[in-house]
């Protein structure tokens, strides 16, 4: 297929140190693709020179289009905005940090042309990442796969290509706490993968420190599974059965064997344990209720302060 168009969505947050190299490599790759392309840079409230650099790209290359947020709304919202503005027959999502190589895009397009609606880039190796990050990612994906009934691939990020039919479906999903790779799995369609080696970050610092990774994991679990709620109920029943058994034992010892059970220490331990369980259960309930609260307010997912190149 030669008569097709494609959009490349690039979320940007304080990536001034790498943007020039990324854009040069992207332009080089686009020269090998026969279709007509557009490059949608989504500035997620950057505080460095990222927006100025992207505007400079626009001066020399009219394929560059820009959506600039009024503040930092987060990586998943930046992807969402890119999907809202993309016009291509296929849409590629790629970060600007060069951990995901633009040179893989032709392979993604080739597999999409074979008939796949979604083609995700699957990491066969993750260079430059700590053992803790690799191990925690592996554990998270396995736990998520166990908790949900949707086949979310392991070792897969947001780097992928999607058919416009998938993009149009995703546009109709406007939930606040977004886990895009989970949503892409949820919508279905025929999906396949292309293996690659993920490079170390070219420059700058990671935009996903431990705190953000924990929040991202919570979004993934609570958006696609109610298993934690059912586990809280099961834990409650389990504790009730233990307490019932202890009560029967205590009553039997007192009235049948006339033995008074001694020990304030054990009593305090039981009270503390029960209090801890209750707080955990309340925390799980609070997490879900808090997300319901965010949804019912109906606020926009993002605010675009500036849009450049979409009226051409």
pLDDT band at 94 (very low <50, low <70, confident <90, very high): very high
What phi-psi label fits residue 162: left (phi over 0), alpha (psi between -120 and 50 degrees) or beta?
A: beta
**pLDDT score, position 124:** 75
pTM, whole model, 2 decimals? 0.71
Q: What is the pLDDT of residues 235-263, one digit of tens each?
A: 766 776 776 676 676 666 666 766 665 65
Does the pLDDT value for residue 92 go beyond 60? Answer: yes
**pLDDT score, position 142:** 67
**pLDDT score, position 98:** 86
């Amino acid at each position: 297929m030669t008569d097709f168009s494609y959009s490349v969505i690039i979320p940007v947050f304080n990536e001034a140190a790498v943007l020039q190299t990324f854009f040069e490599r992207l332009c080089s790759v686009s020269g090998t693709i026969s279709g007509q392309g557009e490059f949608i840079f989504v500035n997620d409230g950057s505080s460095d020179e990222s927006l100025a650099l992207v505007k400079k790209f626009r001066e020399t290359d009219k394929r560059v289009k820009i959506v600039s947020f009024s503040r930092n709304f987060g990586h998943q919202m930046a992807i969402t905005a890119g999907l809202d503005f993309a016009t291509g027959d296929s849409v590629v999502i790629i970060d600007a940090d060069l951990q995901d190589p633009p040179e893989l895009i032709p392979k993604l397009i080739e597999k999409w042309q074979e008939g796949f609606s979604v083609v995700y880039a699957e990491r066969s190796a993750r260079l430059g990442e700590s053992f803790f990050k690799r191990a925690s990612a592996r554990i998270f994906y396995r736990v998520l796969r166990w908790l949900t009934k949707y086949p979310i691939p392991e070792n897969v990020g947001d780097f992928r290509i999607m058919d416009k039919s998938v993009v149009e479906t995703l546009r109709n999903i406007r939930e606040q706490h977004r886990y895009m790779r989970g949503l892409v799995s949820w919508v279905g369609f025929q999906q396949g993968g292309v293996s690659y080696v993920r490079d170390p970050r070219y420059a700058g610092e990671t935009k996903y420190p431990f705190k953000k990774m924990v929040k991202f994991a919570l979004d993934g679990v609570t958006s696609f599974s109610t298993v934690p709620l059912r586990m809280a109920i099961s834990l409650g029943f389990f504790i009730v059965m233990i307490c019932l058994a202890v009560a029967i034992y205590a009553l039997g010892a007192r009235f049948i064997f006339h033995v008074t059970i001694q020990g304030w220490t054990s009593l305090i331990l039981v009270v503390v344990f029960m209090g801890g369980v209750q707080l955990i259960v309340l925390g799980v309930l609070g997490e879900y209720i808090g997300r319901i609260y965010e949804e019912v307010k109906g606020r926009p997912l993002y605010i675009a302060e500036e849009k450049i190149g979409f009226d051409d």
